[in-house]
Amino acid sequence: MPSDLPIIGRTLASRFLITGLLGEGGMATVYRGTQEAEPTELAIKIMNADLAMDEKFVKRFRREAKSAAKLDHPCSVQIIDYGVEDGLPYIAMELLKGAELAQILHHEQRLPELRAARIMADVLSVLDAAHQQGIVHRDLKPENIMVARSTDDSGLDRVKVLDFGIAKILEPDRRSSKIDANDPDEAPPSSFGRSKLTMMGTIVGTPEYMSPEQSRGGEIDGRSDLYACGVLLYHLVTGKVPFLAELPFETAMLHVTATPERPSAITPAIHPGLEALILKAMEKSPDARPATAKEMETALRALIPELATERHALRPPPEPKVSKLDATVASVEITHAPRALATTLDDEATARSQEVTEPRGIRVGVSATIVGDDFLATPPAPPVQPALVAPKAPLSSVASLLIGAGLAALVLLIIALVALR
């Protein structure tokens, strides 16, 4: 069956009928499908045509799918079948019902500590199973975690981790000198090997959740996934990721160089033990993080009885610093005001001065917001008519008066002396 025919309506492996589109990504497109056997409904992920043209890619894809199929865990997606037909690599898997964790975060902004811890404990549980098989996820993010409410009376979330083995297939592999990594048939799943930030123009990993070593393109192991779990926990309880820049590369480099803001600076009531575990998982050095997913899961589950069931309030933003008088003059009408007129309030705040002509008095119309310890005026304030300001007598006038008075006294003294003679 030619690969250029429309996908919907086709049958893969004489078994899976593709009935509709579920979603599209950078490396694959996911379709809804049916089969006669159980489960009758399923999801079929078909790799994009440009990647499917690479023979090495196709062979590695088979190995990756095989590794993912071996992962048998309640929180992993069940792989039903995989293969390549007519040049189309595909994976048939169980059809999940629920919502992406990203959608839940978008709707609720952040989660209660208890719910966040339970979700991430399940994620860590499946990571432990994957790491024991040498599979490192390397693209943990809210979009790759599905959450559905349990159908039993517990009301707990049912968690599924998506895309094991899919985001890693573009990368070169190194595991042991006994294996020829240049031979596509011998090369192990790339989840064992060296991670590259990009290859073939495709980003591997999501910068907001990538470990420092992954951001640098260095050697990684399961502890890189634990770093991502720390970032996810941070995001779930605070409502924000610890690092975010304008460009993806800049965000990735922040994981390498910057210190994250403590969660308690955002949600002051966070459980101290939970904050400590988040920051431990986000240590720059892999050696400073929990050694295994099981260790981190155990520590997280131990905190669950003490965690809050309601969302914590965020720290209120700091109050803006204002001066005694913060006013903007909208209009000023001045007649006969002193030059360089200035008014003071409480000897601490000074109003803007205006250069004006010679004085006699002042009439001012002001539209302003006044903030002070003694009063608060709300704009727009009606024009006011302050009392006329009596002008100060010029220095020359005072001198003239003094000279005149002195002359008059002298004249009176002379008259008195004449009279006495």
Reference 100, options 164, 162, 31; nearest CA is 162
pLDDT digits (tens, 9 = 90+) for 238-247: 999 999 999 9
Are both 171 and 191 inside the same structural domain? yes
pLDDT at 253 over 80: yes
Among the residue ranges 6-20, 177-191, 280-294, the one predicted with the least confidence is: 177-191
Are both 403 and 338 inside the same structural domain? no
Q: How confident is the model at residue 231 (pLDDT cuts 50, 70, 90)?
A: very high
Q: Which helix (H) or strand (E) holds 34?
A: strand 28-34
How confident is the prediction for the chain on average, in pLDDT?
76
CB of 101 closer than 8 Å to CB of 147: yes
Task: Map residue 345 onto helix, strand or coil.
Answer: strand
Are both 197 and 82 inside the same structural domain? no
Q: How confident is the model at residue 323 (pLDDT cuts 50, 70, 90)?
A: low
CATH of the domain at 34: 3.30.200.20
Are both 271 and 186 inside the same structural domain? yes
Among the residue ranges 5-9, 13-17, 117-121, 257-261, the one predicted with the least confidence is: 5-9
Angle (deg, nearest 10), helices 293-303 and 113-132: 160
In this prediction, residues 356-373 reach a mean pLDDT of 38
37 versus 419: the higher-pLDDT residue is: 37
Last residue of some domain: 252, 284, 317? 317
pLDDT, position 399: 63
pLDDT digits (tens, 9 = 90+) for 80-110: 998 888 878 899 999 998 999 999 999 999 9
Cβ neighbors of 26 (< 8 A, separation 6 or more) are 48, 202, 203
pLDDT at 199 over 80: no
**Number of domains comprising the chain:** 4
64 versus 171: the higher-pLDDT residue is: 64
Last residue of some domain: 95, 128, 162? 95
DSSP string over 238-277: HSS-S---SSHHHHHHHHHHPPPPPGGGTSTTS-HHHHHH
pLDDT, position 394: 54
Cβ neighbors of 353 (< 8 A, separation 6 or more) are 340, 341, 342
Number of CB atoms found within 10 A of residue 31's CB? 25
288 versus 342: the higher-pLDDT residue is: 288
Are both 21 and 157 inside the same structural domain? no
| Region label for 239, one of left (φ > 0), alpha (ψ between -120 and 50) or beta (otherwise) | left
Among the residue ranges 36-40, 92-96, 361-365, 390-394, the one predicted with the least confidence is: 361-365
**In the sheet where 145-149 sits, what is the strand order?**
99-100, 145-149, 157-161
- The two beta strands, 11-12 and 16-24, are antiparallel
Are both 176 and 214 inside the same structural domain? yes
CB of 268 closer than 8 Å to CB of 102: no
Are both 229 and 112 inside the same structural domain? yes
Are both 369 and 405 inside the same structural domain? no
Q: Quote the Cα angle for 410-412-418, to 5°.
A: 105
Question: The whole model's pTM is what?
Answer: 0.67
Are both 413 and 307 inside the same structural domain? no
Q: How confident is the model at residue 352 (pLDDT cuts 50, 70, 90)?
A: very low
Are both 143 and 195 inside the same structural domain? yes
Domain of 411 in residue numbering reads as 395-421
pLDDT, position 392: 52
Peptide bond into 112 cis (omega under 30): no
pLDDT at 226 over 80: yes
At which residue do the structure tokens 């403590």 appear? 262
Are both 177 and 237 inside the same structural domain? yes
pLDDT, position 397: 61
Q: How confident is the model at residue 421 (pLDDT cuts 50, 70, 90)?
A: low
pLDDT, position 151: 65
Are both 351 and 223 inside the same structural domain? no
CATH of the domain at 267: 1.10.510.10
Angle (deg, nearest 10), helices 272-281 and 222-238: 140
pLDDT, position 204: 62
**Half-sphere exposure (CA, 13 Å, Cβ side) for 301?**
11
CB of 234 closer than 8 Å to CB of 282: yes
Burial class from Cβ neighbours inside 10 Å (0-12, 13-18, 19+) for residue 240 reads middle
Q: Which residues are identified as catalytic?
A: 139
Last residue of some domain: 62, 95, 128? 95
Question: Which amino acid, 175?
Answer: R
CB of 68 closer than 8 Å to CB of 78: no
Task: Map residue 133 onto helix, strand or coil.
Answer: coil
pLDDT digits (tens, 9 = 90+) for 297-314: 999 999 999 999 999 999
pLDDT, position 372: 36
Angle (deg, nearest 10), helices 222-238 and 293-303: 30
Q: Which helix (H) or strand (E) holds 32?
A: strand 28-34
